[in-house]
Chains A and B, each alone.
Chain A
Amino acid sequence: MNDKKLIWLATNRLRLSPGSFREYYAKVFSPFQFPVDRFNLLPNIDPDTIQTVNIVPEPVYNLHNLTLDWYDRFVAICDDTAERVYQAAHSMPGCTIVIMYSGGIDSTAVLVAMMRSPHFKPFVDAGRLKVSLNSSGIYEYPELFYETILPLIPIIPTDYNTIVADPNNFVITGDGGDHVICSTDIPIFEYDGTTDIVNMDKKIIYNYFDNCDTSGKFSDMVRGIDKHAPFELHSVGQLCWWVSQCFTHQCDMSYSFAWSSVDPAEIASFNKVFRFFLYPEFTTFSFEYMSTNPAYTSLNSMRKFFKDYIIGHTGHEQYRSKNKIGSQRTTARKWHKTAIYEDLSYNNLTSIILS
C-alpha cells in the first residue's frame, strides 16, 4: 500500500457511487466508516469496495472447549502484550517507547498494561518511555494524568507525523481496541428509544437496514456477509462485531498514518508502530469470546473488561461512568459554535441564489 493509496483511502470514502454497497454502508454507519473488504467477501458485488494489503492478522481461533475465564484471559493477554513491547524495545537499543494516549479506554488500557510491567520504572528512569497526549486527553481522565502521568512520565504533545518520523521512537497505539470486545458501530442504532440494543435479536437490525435501503440490496449484502461468519450470529452485538471485523477494522488502522510521510511498509511491519490490540492473541480472544454471544446489557457493559482492567490498577471508580471526549484527534470533527463562521459567506450567497 503506497502513500497515494492511503490518502485515497482517507478522501475517496466521501465519493459514493449511487447504488453501491459503500453508499448504503455510509447511510447506515456514517461516511466516516469506510468499508475495506478485509476478508474479500464482496469482490464481485461492489467494485468500489477497496481491496488493500491487510495489516490486521488473520484470525486464528478454536471455538471448541471454550472456558469461562474471559476476564482473566483478557488481563493475561494485556500483560503479555506489554511484555512483548518491552522485549521489542530491548532489542532496539536507543529507542524510546512513545505511548499514544487519549484518555479513552483503549489507550488507557495500553498505558496501564505498560505501567503494570516491572520494566516500566527502569524504562522511565532511563528516559526511554514517554506518553504522547493532547489537552483533551487530560480532561478525559484527569485523575490518572495529575496523579500518575504528570509526576512520573515524560509527556509530549500528540503530533503523529513528527513522532513517527523520529527514527528513535517506537510508537505504541491502542488502535483497534473496539474490535476486541464488540464494535463502536452499535451506538448509532436506536430501538424503542434506547441505544442499548446490543443483546437483542439481530433481526431488528435487518429491519433497520431495510428502511435505509428500500431496494433491499444492502440487507441482502449483509445477509451474504452474515453467512460467512465463523459462527452463527444471534444478537445485534455479534452482527455489528462481524460487520466491523469485515469492513471497518482494516480501515481504522489506516486513519493514523494516512497523512504520514513515513514509509507505509515500515509502519505496516509493526517495527515502527506497534498496535497493541492487533496482537494476534487479541484477535483470537475476540473471535472466541464473541462466539459465546456475551450477555451485554448496555453499551457500558460492552466496555467492562477494559474498565475493570484500568480501575483495577488505578482505583478510580469514577472512570467507569466517564463521558467520551473526542480527544484522539488533535482537531476533532465536532462542529461547535464557530462552524457558522466558516459557512456564513457561502450560505448567504446560496440562499440568495436558491430564492
Chain B
Amino acid sequence: MNLTFTGLPVHTRILSHQLTGHVVWFSMYLGAGNPIPRYAPICCPDLDYVIYNGPAPTSIDQFVAAMKSYQLTFFQSKNEFGMAPMIPEFAQHVKLERAKCYAIQHIHNAVDWVQEKNGLVENPIADVLLDQNEIIKIMQSQYALSTENAAKLYQFKLAEYINMHRNIKYAQIESEMAIIHAKTVDDVVEIYIKTLISLGRGRATGSKVTGLL
C-alpha cells in the first residue's frame, strides 16, 4: 500500500536498525518538506539513541508490519526498507524500550497540547523584553482599572503563567525520569496514565503506549 501524507508534518519516533548494526531512534517527518529539529527525549541509555532524521517514506505498511513482528528494519537503499529477524531476548528488551519511547513521545505531545490550551505558548505577558509598566498601562486602559488594580491583575496573570508553566514542565521531567527507570511495560503504562491525568487528561489509557508494541 502506498500512502501519501499531506497536511501537517507528523513526527514519530521508533526503534530501528541501522546499517551499523545498532538499534537507534528513528525519527521521521511524514509529508514534511524539510525535517525540523525537535526536542528528542532520551530514554534508552543502554541503547544507542542517535537521532536519525529520515526522508518521507513512499511505502510504510511493510515497515509497520515488520516493526510489529519485531523484525529489524533498515534502509536497504535510499527509498527501500530491508528487514531482519530479531532474537527473542532482544525483542523483549526492544518492546520495553519502545513502550518508553511511545510513552515519552505522547507525554511530550500532551505537554505541548496542555501548554497551548492554557495560553502558555508564546504568551506575550511573559516576554522578558517587554516593559511591565507598558503592559500595566494597556490593562488599565482595556479593563478600565485603576493603576493599582491593573498592576495587581498583571502580577496575578504573570504568576499564574509562571506557576502553570513550571508545574507542567516539572510533571514532564518527573515522568520522563520515571519512565527511563521503569523495569516493565506495565510500569511504563502506569506512569504514562498518571502523568496524563496530572496534566488534566482524565481519559488516558495505556493503548497509545502498548498499541504498537
Q: Indicate if B141 sits at the interface (CB-CB under 8 A).
A: no
Docked complex Cα distance between A339 and B117 (Å): 9
- Of the listed stretches B39-47, B88-96, B106-114, chain A binds B106-114
Nearest to A348 among chain B residues (CB) is: B10
Q: Indicate if B137 sits at the interface (CB-CB under 8 A).
A: no
Contact assessment for B116 and A338 in the assembled complex, using a CB-CB cutoff below 8 Å: yes
Contact A11 B193, CB 8 Å, known A338-B113, A344-B10: yes
Identify B110's interface contact among A155, A342, A352, CB under 8 A: A342
Contact A345 B198, CB 8 Å, known A135-B160, A156-B159, A350-B211: no
Contact assessment for B211 and A346 in the assembled complex, using a CB-CB cutoff below 8 Å: yes
- Of the listed stretches A178-186, A240-248, A312-320, A324-332, chain B binds A324-332
Nearest to A350 among chain B residues (CB) is: B211
Q: Indicate if A64 sits at the interface (CB-CB under 8 A).
A: no
Q: Indicate if A61 sits at the interface (CB-CB under 8 A).
A: no
Docked complex Cα distance between A31 and B114 (Å): 21
Q: Mark B37-57, 1 if CB is under 8 A from A, else 0.
A: 000000000000000000000
Q: Indicate if B75 sits at the interface (CB-CB under 8 A).
A: no
Q: Indicate if B190 sits at the interface (CB-CB under 8 A).
A: yes
Contact assessment for B160 and A157 in the assembled complex, using a CB-CB cutoff below 8 Å: yes
Q: Indicate if B157 sits at the interface (CB-CB under 8 A).
A: yes
Contact assessment for B1 and A355 in the assembled complex, using a CB-CB cutoff below 8 Å: yes
Within 8 A of B (CB), among A144-203: 146, 150-151, 155-157, 159, 162
Identify B109's interface contact among A31, A341, A349, CB under 8 A: A341
Contact assessment for B156 and A339 in the assembled complex, using a CB-CB cutoff below 8 Å: no
Within 8 A of A (CB), among B1-36: 1, 3, 5, 8, 10-12, 30
Contact assessment for B197 and A10 in the assembled complex, using a CB-CB cutoff below 8 Å: yes
* A-side contacts of B124, CB under 8 Å: none
Q: Indicate if B132 sits at the interface (CB-CB under 8 A).
A: no
Within 8 A of A (CB), among B127-149: 143, 145-146, 149
* B-side contacts of A151, CB under 8 Å: 146, 149
Identify B202's interface contact among A32, A150, A336, A345, CB under 8 A: A32
Q: Mark B153-190, 1 if CB is under 8 A from A, else 0.
A: 10011011001100110000000000000000000001
Docked complex Cα distance between A307 and B167 (Å): 34
Docked complex Cα distance between A345 and B110 (Å): 12
Contact assessment for A333 and B200 in the assembled complex, using a CB-CB cutoff below 8 Å: yes
Contact A11 B208, CB 8 Å, known A156-B159, A331-B199: no
Q: Indicate if A126 sits at the interface (CB-CB under 8 A).
A: no
Contact assessment for A330 and B164 in the assembled complex, using a CB-CB cutoff below 8 Å: yes
Contact assessment for A348 and B30 in the assembled complex, using a CB-CB cutoff below 8 Å: yes
Docked complex Cα distance between A345 and B109 (Å): 10
Q: List 22 A-B contacts (CB under 8 A).
A: A14-B204, A31-B202, A146-B143, A146-B145, A150-B152, A151-B149, A156-B159, A157-B164, A330-B118, A330-B167, A331-B114, A331-B168, A333-B202, A338-B116, A339-B113, A341-B113, A342-B109, A345-B109, A350-B211, A352-B1, A352-B3, A353-B64
Residues of A within 8 A of B (CB): 7, 10-11, 14, 31-32, 134-135, 146, 150-151, 155-157, 159, 162, 259, 329-333, 336, 338-339, 341-342, 344-346, 348-350, 352-353, 355
Q: Which 10 A-B pairs have the closest CB atoms?
A: A331-B200, A157-B160, A342-B109, A342-B113, A338-B113, A345-B12, A333-B202, A157-B163, A345-B10, A338-B116
Residues of B within 8 A of A (CB): 1, 3, 5, 8, 10-12, 30, 60-61, 64-65, 68, 105-106, 109-110, 112-114, 116-118, 143, 145-146, 149, 152-153, 156-157, 159-160, 163-164, 167-168, 190, 193-194, 197-205, 208, 211-212
Besides A157-B159, A353-B64, 5 new A-B residue pairs in contact (Cβ under 8 A), listed by A number: A10-B197, A150-B145, A330-B164, A344-B8, A350-B211
